[in-house]
Amino acid sequence: MSGMPLLAVKLEKFLKILMADYGDEEFKSKITTALQEIMYIVLESIDDNSTLKGALKRDEISRKFKNINTSDIKKNIWSEKVNRLHLLLTFKESGTDVPLNSEARRRITFFVNSLFMNMRSAPKVSNMRSFSVLTPHYKEEVLYSDEELNKENEDGVSTLFYLKTIYPDEWTNFKERMKDKQEEEEKEERRKWVSYRGQTLSRSVRGMMYYKKALELQCAMEFTESISNEEDCIRKQKLPDLKFTYIISCQIYGNLKRSKDTRQKDILNLMIMYPSLRVAYIDEVDEALKEKTEGKTEKVYYSVLIKGDTINYSEREIYRIRLPGSPTKIGEGKPENQNHAIIFTRGEALQTIDMNQDNYFEEAFKMRNVLEEFPHSHGAQKPTILGLREHVFTGSVSSLAWFMSNQEFSFVTIGQRFLASPLRVRFHYGHPDIFDRIFHITRGGISKASKTINLSEDIFAGFNSTLRLGSVTHHDYMQVGKGRDVGMNQISLFEAKVANGNGEQTLTRDVHRLGCHFDFFRMLSFYCTTVGFYFNSLVTVLIVYVFLYGRLYMVMTGLEREILEDPQIKNNNALEAALVTQSFIQMGMLLVLPMLMEIGLEKGFRTALGDFFIMQLQLSSVFFTFQLGTKAHYFGKTILHGGSKYRATGRGFVVQHSKFADNYRLYSRSHFVKALELGLLLVIYEVYGESYRNSSLYLFITFSMWFLVGSWLFAPFIFNPSGFEWQKTVNDWTDWKWWMGIRGGVGIQPENSWESWWDEEQEHLRYTSIRGRVLEILLALRFFVYQYGIVYHFDIAHHSRSLLVYGLSWCAVLVILIVPKIVSVRRLQMFHMDLQLPLRMLKGLLFLILLVVMIILFKFCGLTLSDLFASILAFMPTGWAFILVGQACKPCLHKLLWEPIKEVARAYDFMMGLLLFTPIAFLSWLPAVNEFQTRILFNQAFSRGLHISMILAGKKDGGASVN
């Protein structure tokens, strides 16, 4: 090894000679001398043995190199290798030359680490398995237009301005590259720059076409030796197209073309840019009937495959296959979008990539290694689906995006790894998974498409594979980029869609068959990792209800007083200590453990603990507790009534303010109503048990429940950008009042009218069964418990337990519901103008009668002010029960009492909205709350030195000056 420095010097000199332009004789002389010097150094470094030196003397070495042939060295094939070797030897890289861009560092780090993982050896490109990539596309963005780039939202923030602020270093690099470009060329490149940082189809296409680029480079490396052969040269050029096929399944491409939609032109541009790209779509044609019926036509549907024609700058049809009918009428949109195009895929493997995904050039080189997993057994069977990990690239936008990114990160890494081995219950959860195409295309395809029941088409592909004796694996050494929803409302819509899908899974035969065929332990693993997670979320919420209603019964009957005043139970410190631990665990600490473990494995446990601490400061517990309510509500709703539907969440950049009315529409029935009910139970439990409760036991019992109530009520407003800005709060109140007052009707959208929204919220009851309606009525009867328990504690009842007290309370309820309806303005307007004066006199008389009755009750019957407040706690839930029962019995009450029920419901919604809006308005009035909330919501941006306030404030404060 002592001769290595000198050998490096001589080798560098040798390479310089090869790169220089000498005459033939001089070139041969210098080459011979350089090779001799290299050989001397090698021999002297290998062994100092005199025998070796005697056997190979210098003159013998010189004689051997004199006959060297240097005629082939100057060919292009050698010059390329010489230049590459010279660069490797002479390039001096400093250890401090680390990329400044965090994304570049992350990609380099993962790629280098993955090279040390267990990875199959890659075959030659000519011997590798061929594969296809299939991407379904509907109406999502393909490439942002100039209008969309510069279109400003209500805060004066455009998409271009947003991205320039979020990615300042990348924008600086882009401006540097565009220095010498023409204006039109720069404008087109700017569109691509923005589109490649959003969740667009052009980003996915660019990422997936890296597969072909990687194969071309690998072919160039393999065919270097025989490049002089013309046949091999052609093979080198065509082999990547034989091994890789990319198809976009855009079912509405024909409609886009007929309507001259700009997205059709953008897709055509992609086909021109990438000649090997193919697009499949459904063509609807009117054809004349073959029978003797003149002038009559029928709708005929074709599945069509097209490619780009680079010469004529147009599309060219390749195949056209007639379909038996419209696919979208048979099943869900996305599964059918995949099903009609799968016939056009080629090869032995098929990768299903969603529209919001991306790929990386360095990861594309590992595709040969991944495909080699198919012929090797993983346990009992060979794999039929290869699972890959995902990287969520939207995690740096806001704290919500960071929470979802970390949650997804733990799910697609340590979670999927554990499901695959040792549990062996991993299914097709992630879109970058690679299917054994031959296996699945002969067993029903990769998507079940029955409407509603197969809403979550991904996991049904895994069910189908496992039931047919296939195996699903997971591999960590390759990853694919993925975009996620980054706004509170987007995330909730996504969680609602997944919860609906899991509810439908619970009702399917697939889950039943899997449970019957698995062994006991695998069955338990299957339950806990699929529908069991959502069922447990539902049970967790139901347990809170059961616990509080049980406590309400105990405190109202006096049973709790007798228990707590028992000398054996008083000052029971062991019980209180146990309840403290229980309350801590109920904060969701156990759910964070997988996230901590995976971040610790990837980045170190110090980083994991630091991230966990920062997440708690950013109120992550509030967010995850809120999402628990989303899962429980939509899962339970699907179990009761079915009828789940696809919910479009959007792919845009969400940092804009959501109006109060929008949040109320989205979360009223799933969170707000339930939180107010639980809050009312907690208040009653505290008020009627305070007199005999003398320890901190109550706080230990109810702390986590109060936390749940607060999270469900205010999380949408805490995580709403500019949620506590005074001017936006004023505008939200104006918009809320307008929305509540507008009457509904045909063509009036739910976002424009409370009545239309209220009708839409009951849509699930239109298609439910009798069983579903009966269960809704039985569940609504729980609200009568409030009234029954509280009226016997009125001072006016004088501790009587007679049924007469309960009967009189119902009389009071009827008076409260009927009298306001009689004297309402809407009712008076129905009469003739001549009767207005008598009716107003009747209104005054009724008021006087009620006033006299109240005075008599206060003076002679023992009515107190506390009874009035208690009556609110008792009678408000009763009115809500009437509304729920009326909704369930709508077919019977539609012509009789439906309008009064609607008006009562409007009053309840207005009161709930006012109750929620009051603390928001108060916090908006305080000056520092808005800045504090912005810091919580966008801490990642602050930590990276970004001026997020420029985005939130828009261009009003000079934000437009960013270049």
- Answering whether pTM is above 0.95, one says no
pLDDT score recorded for residue 822? 60
- Which region among 62-71, 113-122, 136-145, 500-509 has the lowest average model confidence (pLDDT)? 62-71
Q: CB–CB of 221/297 below 8 Å?
A: no
The CA distance from 606 to 273, in Å, is 46
The CA distance from 469 to 385, in Å, is 12
Q: CB–CB of 772/765 below 8 Å?
A: yes
Tell me the CA end-to-end span of the chain in Å, nearest whole number.
55
- The answer as to whether 396 is a domain residue is no
pLDDT score recorded for residue 828? 45
| For residues 611-627, average pLDDT | 87
Question: Would you place residue 512 in the very low, low, confident or very high pLDDT band (cuts 50, 70, 90)?
Answer: very high
**Is 604 in a helix, a strand, or coil?**
coil
pLDDT digits 0-9 by tens, 8-37: 888 888 888 877 777 777 777 787 788 777
Does pLDDT of 820 surpass 80?
no
H or E stretch including 112?
Answer: helix 102-114
Neighbour count for residue 2 (Cβ, 10 Å): 8
- The answer as to whether 294 is a domain residue is no
Question: Would you place residue 50 in the very low, low, confident or very high pLDDT band (cuts 50, 70, 90)?
Answer: very low
- Picking from 28, 60, 90, the residue at the C-terminal end of a domain is 90
| For residues 731-737, average pLDDT | 92
Q: CB–CB of 407/424 below 8 Å?
A: no
Does pLDDT of 814 surpass 60?
yes
The CA distance from 530 to 447, in Å, is 18
Percent of the chain with pLDDT over 70: 84
- The answer as to whether 168 is a domain residue is no
The conformation of residue 618, written as its DSSP 8-state character, comes to: T
- Which region among 95-99, 355-359, 895-899 has the lowest average model confidence (pLDDT)? 95-99
- The answer as to whether 355 is a domain residue is no
Q: What is the mean pLDDT of the chain?
A: 82
Backbone angles phi, psi at 260, to 5 degrees: 55, 45
- Picking from 39, 68, 90, the residue at the C-terminal end of a domain is 90
| For residues 479-502, average pLDDT | 86
- The answer as to whether 160 is a domain residue is no
pLDDT digits 0-9 by tens, 752-769: 899 999 988 888 888 888
pLDDT score recorded for residue 679? 93
Q: Is 118 exposed, middle or buried (0-12, 13-18, 19+ CB in 10 A)?
A: exposed
H or E stretch including 610?
Answer: helix 605-617
**Is 368 in a helix, a strand, or coil?**
helix
Nearest 5°: the CA angle 148, 149, 153 is 70
pLDDT digits 0-9 by tens, 411-440: 888 889 989 988 899 998 878 999 999 999
- Which region among 19-28, 50-59, 710-719, 839-848 has the lowest average model confidence (pLDDT)? 50-59
pLDDT score recorded for residue 184? 85
How far is residue 349 from each of residues 249, 467, 469, 484, measured CA to CA in Å?
Answer: 17, 20, 18, 26
Does pLDDT of 827 surpass 60?
no
| Rounded (10°) angle between helices 531-557 and 697-718 | 130
The conformation of residue 833, written as its DSSP 8-state character, comes to: G
Dig out the tokens for 39 from the structure: 């050989």
| For residues 844-848, average pLDDT | 76
Closest CA to 488 of 662, 674, 729: 662
pLDDT score recorded for residue 473? 93
| For residues 672-690, average pLDDT | 89
Which of left, alpha, beta for 706 (phi over 0: left; psi -120 to 50: alpha)? alpha
pLDDT score recorded for residue 337? 85
Place of tokens 């609504």: 780
Return the bridge partners of 482, or none: 357, 392
pLDDT score recorded for residue 307? 93
Question: Would you place residue 736 in the very low, low, confident or very high pLDDT band (cuts 50, 70, 90)?
Answer: very high
Does pLDDT of 835 surpass 70?
no
pLDDT digits 0-9 by tens, 181-193: 888 888 889 999 9
Residue type, 909: D
Domain extent, residue 49, equals: 3-90
Question: Would you place residue 569 in the very low, low, confident or very high pLDDT band (cuts 50, 70, 90)?
Answer: low
Closest CA to 886 of 905, 872, 901: 901
Backbone angles phi, psi at 405, to 5 degrees: -65, -45
How many residues does this entry show for the chain?
A: 963
Does pLDDT of 873 surpass 80?
yes
**Is 182 in a helix, a strand, or coil?**
coil
- The answer as to whether 842 is a domain residue is yes
pLDDT digits 0-9 by tens, 93-130: 665 677 888 889 889 999 999 999 999 999 999 899 99
Provide CB contacts within 8 A for 141, sequence distance 6+: 148, 195, 198, 199, 200, 201, 263, 651
Provide CB contacts within 8 A for 568, sequence distance 6+: none
- Which region among 152-156, 476-480, 760-764, 823-827 has the lowest average model confidence (pLDDT)? 823-827
Does pLDDT of 649 surpass 70?
no
Does pLDDT of 152 surpass 90?
no
Neighbour count for residue 575 (Cβ, 10 Å): 13
Question: Would you place residue 202 in the very low, low, confident or very high pLDDT band (cuts 50, 70, 90)?
Answer: very high
Does pLDDT of 468 surpass 50?
yes
Which of left, alpha, beta for 824 (phi over 0: left; psi -120 to 50: alpha)? beta
Q: Is 328 exposed, middle or buried (0-12, 13-18, 19+ CB in 10 A)?
A: middle
- The answer as to whether 606 is a domain residue is no
Provide CB contacts within 8 A for 221, sequence distance 6+: none
The CA distance from 533 to 514, in Å, is 17
Dig out the tokens for 29 from the structure: 């002389």
The CA distance from 963 to 961, in Å, is 6
| More confident position, 707 or 693 | 707
pLDDT score recorded for residue 525? 93
Percent of the chain that is helix, strand, coil (3-state, to 5):
65, 10, 30
DSSP labels, 800-825: ---HHHHHHHHHHHHHHHHHHHHT-H
pLDDT score recorded for residue 950? 57
The sheet carrying 385-392 orders its strands as 314-323, 297-309, 277-288, 244-250, 131-137, 349-352, 434-436, 385-392, 472-482, 357-358
Does pLDDT of 959 surpass 50?
no
| For residues 289-296, average pLDDT | 64
| For residues 355-368, average pLDDT | 93
pLDDT score recorded for residue 51? 46
pLDDT digits 0-9 by tens, 930-957: 888 887 787 665 555 555 555 555 544 4
Does pLDDT of 229 surpass 80?
no
Closest CA to 269 of 159, 345, 195, 369: 195
pLDDT digits 0-9 by tens, 683-703: 988 888 776 666 666 677 788
Percent of the chain with pLDDT over 90: 30
| For residues 803-831, average pLDDT | 67
Q: CB–CB of 832/801 below 8 Å?
A: no
- Picking from 44, 67, 90, the residue at the C-terminal end of a domain is 90
Neighbour count for residue 424 (Cβ, 10 Å): 20
Structural domain tally of the chain?
A: 2
pLDDT score recorded for residue 664? 94
Provide CB contacts within 8 A for 670, sequence distance 6+: 496, 629, 630, 633, 634
pLDDT score recorded for residue 956? 43
- The answer as to whether 46 is a domain residue is yes
